[in-house]
Structure 1
Amino acid sequence: MNRVDPDAPARILVVDDTEANRYITGGWLRRAGHEVLEAATGRAALDTVRDEVVDLVILDVNLPDMSGFDVCEVLKGDAATAAIPVVHVSASHVEAGDRATGLTRGADAYLSEPIDPGELQATVKAALRYYRARAAAENLAGRLSRLTEAGLEINTARTFPALLAAAVRGATAVLGQPVTVLVVLPSGAHLWGCGEGPDRPVTTRAEHPDPLVPQWRATPGPPRSALDPTNTVQLVTFTDPGEQWPAAEVTAAVVHTDPEQPATCVALPAAAVTTGEERDLLIQLGQTTAVAARGLLAYTDEHDIALSLQRSLLPSRLPVVPGLTMAARYVPASSVAQVGGDFYEVTELDTGVLVAIGDVTGHSIEAATVMGEVRHALRAYAIEGHTPTEIIALLNAMVCRFHPTGLTTLCLILLDLAAETATIANAGHIPPLLIDDEHAAYLPLPGAILGIEVPRPEATTIAFPKGSTIVLMTDGLVERRAVPLDDDLETLRASMDPGEQPEAVCRRLLATFGRDKDDDIALVVLRRT
C-alpha cells in the first residue's frame, strides 16, 4: 500500500434528507476536488458505506428513519467502518449539549447550520489528515511487525530452499506484492524463489542462467548496509528482466555481503516501490536475506568440510567374512548445515570380528575430529589384543584426558563366529537389537558414556547362532522431538522380520525412520549365516 497524500481528494458521503442541502454541500466539496456520494436516510447511508469505498461521512443529525447519532454509533461500532471520520451537521441541534452528545457518540466534528463553506472545507481537511495519518501509522506498524516476523523466519532457515521461501513469504507479507528473490552461490548456481502474492504458494528452483538482465539502470541508494558496514546495498531498477521476475520492470535491493561473492536480490514490480518507506523496507528485506544467505553459506562450507572429513574416517568398505553377512550406512543430517560425530567400525582381528558404533556429542568439525581419534584409537587398542572391556576403559581414559567435553557413546561387539558368541561392552549407547526366529529384543547392557570417570561393568557374552541378526544404530535414526525415544525404539523393534537380509533392513529402516532428520545416522546390521 502506497502512502496517501494527506491532502489528496477523497470520496465523501453526504447524508441529508433535504435534496437542496445535499446539492449545496456536494457542490462545495466537488469544487475542492472530492468525489461525492449522496444518501437521504440513515439506512441508505449505512448501506452505502458497506458497499462503497468511503473516506468521510458528512451526516445530518435529523433523518427520517433514524437519528444521525444512531447512524454514527453503528459506524463506529463496526470494525470495518470505525476508522471513517464522521462530521455531524444540524440546523436544530445546535446547543452545547447537542454537540457533546454527537462527539461522545463517535463523531469527529460537529457543525451547526448554516455552514460556512470555508469552515466545512477546513473541517473536512483536518479530519482526513488525522485519519490518514493514523492509517499510515497503523500500516507502518503492521509492516514493521511483519518485517520482524520475516527476519526471524529468514534467519532460522536451515536450507537455501527454506531461506528463499521465507524471504519470499516475508517480503510479500511486508510489501503486499508479488516478489522474487535471487541468491547466487559461489558455484554460479542461481537459486530463485518466486511468489505470486499473499497467501499464494512459493516456488523455488535452481538453474544456471545467462547474465541476470540485459539492461539495467541504477537509482540512488545507500552505499553501505545498515546491518553490516562491510555490506553494500543498492536499489536497482531492471528493465525487461526476464520471465523470472514479477513484472516487465522491477526494482530490486541488490546486496553484496562480500566484494568477491555474487549479490543477493529481492525484487518486486517497480510500480510498487514509490515511497521512501517502501524503498527502506525493500532494502531491509534485501539486507536480511543477504546476511542470512552469507551465514548459511558459511555453515554449508563447514558442513562440506566436516562431511568430507567424516566420510574419510569411516570404513571405505566392509570386510568379507565367511559366515557373516553385513550392511552399514552413514547418512548426514538432512536439515542442518553442520555434521555430527556418528561413526561405525568393522575390523577383522585374530580373535574375531570387531564391530563398533558410536556418537560424539555435538555437531561441528570438532565433533568429527574427535570421532576420528576415537575410531583410530579403538582400532589400535583392538590390534594390541585388548578385550572389549579393556578397550572401553582405555578409550574412556583417552577422552577424559584429551577431549573432556567430547562426550561419546559407544557400543563395542567382538564376534567369535566359531564359538557362535558375541561379547558386548556398552558405554551409554542405544542397546543392540538381537533378532532370532522367536523374538526381537534390545539387550539391556549398562555402562556410562565415555568421558566420565566412573566404574564400568564387564562385557556381556551372548549366543549368536546361525540365523540371528544384530542391529546397531545411533539415536539419529529413531529420535524425534516431542516423542519419547522408547516409543520409537519399540516401533522399530516390532517391525523386524527374522528372515530379512541386512541390506534390506538398512533400506527399510532408513526409508521408514530416517527421512528428514536433523541428526546424523549410523546403522550396522550383522547376520550370522
Structure 2
Amino acid sequence: MNAKAGSTILVVDDVAASRYALGAVLRRDGHRVVLAASAGEALIELDVRRRAGELPDVALVDVGLPDMSGFELCRRLKETPPFAALPVVHFSAARIAPADRCLGLDAGGEAYLTVPAEPEEIQAVVRAAARGARHRSDAEAQAGHLTRLAETILDVQSARCPRELADAAAAGTARLSDGPAAAFVIADDGELHRSLSRRRTAASLPDEGAHDTVVRLIQRGMAGQTGVRETVVPAPVWPAGFFHAEPSDGGERPVGARLTLARAREGSAPVCLATPVYDRDPAPGTGRFVGRLAHATAVAAERLLMYEVERHIALTLQRSFLPAHVPQTPGTEVVVRYEPASRDTEIGGDFYASLTTSQGLLTGIGDVVGHSLDAATVMVEIRHALRAYCIEDPDPRTLAERLDGMLQRYHPEVTATLCLALVDPATGHTRVANAGHIPPLVVTDDGTATYLKAKGPLLGLGLDRPPPTETVLRRTDRLLMVTDGLIETRGTDLAVSMEHLRTVAAGAPLGVTALCDTLLACLGHNREDDIALLAMRLRQSDTPRTPSRAASP
C-alpha cells in the first residue's frame, strides 16, 4: 500500500480551528481523518476502533491537551499492548524548545512538529511516521512467519511416518496461511498420504474420487519437475471437501486452490501443500514461507519413504527366514511366534531356529543389535551359519564360539545376543549356552516357572565362553525362549520385566501353543521392538521316565 494514500490519521487537539485545519491538510494528502478534542475522547475512539479491528495508522497529538498532556497520552498508549505500535507525532505552538522535543521522543513519540508549519511539512512527517510503522509491522509479521516456519519444520523433521508427516505439514501450512489447509504425500507405489488441518471448513470428508483427482493434479504439476513450484487450480477443477466452505457456513467461498508442489530430487515422492484462494490478496510473503515448508516436507518425505521401503525389505527378510511353523523333531513339539514392531518402528534382527541334529533337537533364539536392514541381513547370515555349523558339531558352546568368530571376521562392528539349547528327546537332557540373551524359562504344568542360570558374553566380542548349563526336562516342562522385545519397556528395569514375564508364564494354560498365545496377548501390545518366541516340550511317548532335574549354578 502506498504510504501517501489510504492511511487513517487520528488528530487530537482541543482547539477546534486547529483540529479542523490539520484535518483538511491531511485529507488533501489522501488520508482518512478521525478527530478528537481531548485525551479522553482519543482513548474512547481508539478502544472502539480496536474492537472493530480498525486502528488508525498515525496519531497526531497536541502537547497541551486539557485533561492530560500529549506526552502522558503517548506514554499511556505505548504501555498498552493493543496501541503500543501506533506511531505518535506530537505538535505544539507553545512548547517549541529543544527540551520539549526531547520530552516527546522520550515519551515514545516518533516525531515532533512545531506549528504553525507548512502543509507539505505536516504531510511529509505523517507519511514518514505511517511508512515507518508499516515497515515495523511488516518486519514483525515476517519474524512471526519465520518463527512459525521454524517450529513447523521441526515438527516435519520429527515425523516418524508419512501420516505424521502429512499431519505436521497440514497444521503448519494452516498456521502460515492463517486458514484451512491440506497436505498430500504420494508414495512410490502411488499410495496417497493426506491430512487436513483443523481449520478445514467443509462439513463432509472428500471421497476416493477426490483423492484420485488430487493425485492426478499433483503428478501433472510435478511431471519431470524437481524443487518447488506453485500453481492455482480453479474451483471447478479442485474437488470439494478439503477446505471448501459450505453455503450454510456463511463464509467466503474460495475461487480455487493454490497448490505448492515440491520434490526433493528426480524420482522421489512429490508433496503438495494446498490452501484456498480467495478474491482478496493473501498476506505478503505467505507463498514464500509455504514454499519453504513444502521443500522441507519433500526432503522429509524422501527420507521416510526410503525408510518404508527398507523396512518392507527387512520385514520380508524376517518373515521369509522366520516361518510361522518349523519342522518338528520326533519326540518334541515346538511352537514359534514372530511379531514385527509397530509400523512406526524399524525392524530389528530378531530370529529363532529349530534344527534336528545328530544329538537331538537344537533350539535357538537371538537378536542382532540394531534396527535396520543391515541387522536383518546379519540375522540371516547367523541363521545360515548356525544350520551349517550344527551339522558338524551341535554342541551349544562350540556353536556360540564359531558364530562369535564369524561375526568378528565378517562383521566386526556388529554384536548379537543368542541362546542355544540342545535337547535329547529320549532322555530330556538339555545343554544351554547363552550369549548375552534372556535365559530360557522352564515352565511347569503345576504353575511354576524358573529361569535357567545360563549366561555368557555377547557374540562378536571374542570373549571366553563358560561351560554350558545342563538340566533335564520332564514331560510336564515347557522350555520358553523369548527376545527382549516382548518385555523390555523404556524406563523399567529389565529384572522387573523378567519377573513379570515369569509370573505370566507360570499362570498360562497348559501346552506350548497356549503359552505363546497368552504371552503375546498379555505382553505383546504396542511394542517398540520385534518379538520372537519359541516354546518347546517333549512329547509324552518319548519323555524320560526319571523326573529328576539337575541344573548347574
TM range (shorter): 0.7 to 0.9
Aligned to 1:65: 67
* 2:529 paired residue number: 519
Picking from 114, 131, 134, the partner of 1:132 is: 134
Aligned residue for 1:334? 342
Q: Within 5 A, what are the aligned runs for 1:277-356? A: 277-320=285-328, 326-336=334-344, 338-356=346-364
Q: Give the counterpart of 1:397 among 381, 405, 408.
A: 405
Aligned to 2:420: 412
CA distance in 1, matches of 2:119, 2:492: 72
Q: Does 1:101 align with 2:103?
A: yes
Tell me whether 1:231 sits opposite 2:238 in the alignment. no
Matching residue of 2:187: 185
Query: How far does the alpha carbon of each residue in 1:136-194 deviate from its partner, in whole angstroms, 9 at most, with x for none?
Result: 12221222232233223223322110110111122222332221112222322222221
More displaced stretch, 306-315 vs 498-507? 498-507
CA contact (8 A) 2:170 2:197 kept: yes
1:250 aligns with 2:260: no
- State the alpha-carbon separation in 1 of the partners of residues 83 and 520 from structure 2: 57
User: Are the counterparts in 1 of residues 486 and 523 from structure 2 also a CA contact under 8 Å?
Assistant: yes
Change (3 A) 1:34 1:462: farther
Percentage of identical aligned residues: 38
> What does 1:110-259 align with in structure 2 at a 5 Å threshold?
110-197=112-199, 209-212=211-214, 231-239=226-234, 240=236, 241-247=238-244, 248-257=255-264
Q: Does the Cα contact within 8 Å between 1:190 and 1:208 map onto a contact in 2?
A: no
* Cα distance between partner residues in 1 of 2:453 and 2:77: 72
Are 1:267 and 2:269 an aligned pair? no
C-alpha contact (below 8 Å) 2:359/2:394 kept by paired residues: no
Contact (CA 8 Å) 1:396, 1:453: kept in 2 or not? yes
1:369 matches 2:377: yes
**1:523 counterpart letter in structure 2:** L
1:78 counterpart residue number: 80
Structure 1: any 5+ residue segments left out of the alignment?
225-229
Larger deviation, residues 100-109 vs 23-32: 23-32
Secondary structure of the equivalent of 1:211? Answer: helix
Q: Is the 8 A contact 1:191 1:204 kept in 2?
A: no
Q: State whether residues 412 and 425 of structure 1, in contact with CA within 8 Å, keep that contact through their aligned partners in structure 2.
A: yes
Q: 2:215 & 2:464 partners in 1: Cα distance? A: 68
Moved more, 162-171 or 243-252: 243-252
d(CA) in 2 for partners of 1:16, 1:511: 80
2:97 equivalent to 1:90:
no
1:301 alignment partner, SS class = helix
Distance in 2 separating the partners of 1:47 and 1:444: 84
Summarize the alignment of residues 484-523 of structure 1 with structure 2, pairs less than 5 Å apart.
Answer: 484-500=493-509, 502-503=512-513, 505-507=515-517, 509-510=519-520, 513-523=523-533
- TM-score using structure 2 length: 0.82
Instruction: Give the Cα separation in 1 of the matches to 2:326 and 2:207.
Output: 38
Instruction: Give secondary structure in 2 for the equivalent of 1:251.
Output: strand
Mean alpha-carbon deviation: is it higher for 483-492 or for 410-419? 483-492
2:546 aligned residue: none
1:332 maps to amino acid? P
Q: Is the 8 A contact 2:5 2:29 kept in 1?
A: no
Distance 1:441 1:39 in 2: 90
Quickly say closer, same or farther: Cα 1:157–1:262, change in 2 above 3 A: closer
**Contact 1:164–1:204 (Cα < 8 Å) also in 2:** no
- When residues 34 and 419 of structure 1 are mapped into structure 2, their CA distance, relative to the original with a 3 A threshold, is farther
Residue aligned with 1:344, SS: strand
Q: Distance in 1 between matches of 2:26 and 2:503?
A: 80
Compared with structure 1, are the counterparts of its residues 159 and 255 closer, same or farther at alpha carbon in structure 2 (3 Å cutoff)?
A: same
Structure index of larger Rg: 2
What amino acid maps onto 2:388 in structure 1?
A
**Are residues 1:456 and 2:451 paired?**
no
The CA deviation string for residues 352-406 of structure 1, in whole angstroms up to 9 with x for no partner, is 3322111112233322221111112222333334211111112112222222122
Matches within 5 A, 1:427-466: 427-436=435-444, 437=446, 439-466=448-475
Kindly indicate whether the alpha-carbon contact (under 8 Å) linking 1:94 and 1:112 is maintained by their aligned counterparts in 2.
Answer: yes
**Partner SS, residue 80 of structure 1:** helix
Q: TM-score, normalised by structure 1?
A: 0.85
The change in CA–CA distance for 1:520 and 1:40 in structure 2 (over 3 A counts) is farther
Partner AA of 1:455 in structure 2? D
Contact 1:335–1:517 (Cα < 8 Å) also in 2 = no
With over 3 angstroms needed to count, the CA separation of the structure-2 counterparts of 1:114 and 1:520, relative to structure 1, is same
Aligned 8 A contact 1:57 1:85 in 2:
yes
Secondary structure class of the residue paired with 1:360: strand
SS at match of 2:140: helix
Q: Deviation at 1:204?
A: 11
CA contact (8 A) 1:189 1:206 kept: no
What SS does the aligned partner of 2:369 have? Answer: strand
1:29 corresponds to: 26
Give 1:292 shift: 2.1
Query: Distance between the aligned counterparts of 1:311 and 1:423, measured in 2?
Result: 28
Are 2:443 and 2:477, in contact at CA under 8 Å, matched by a contact in 1? yes
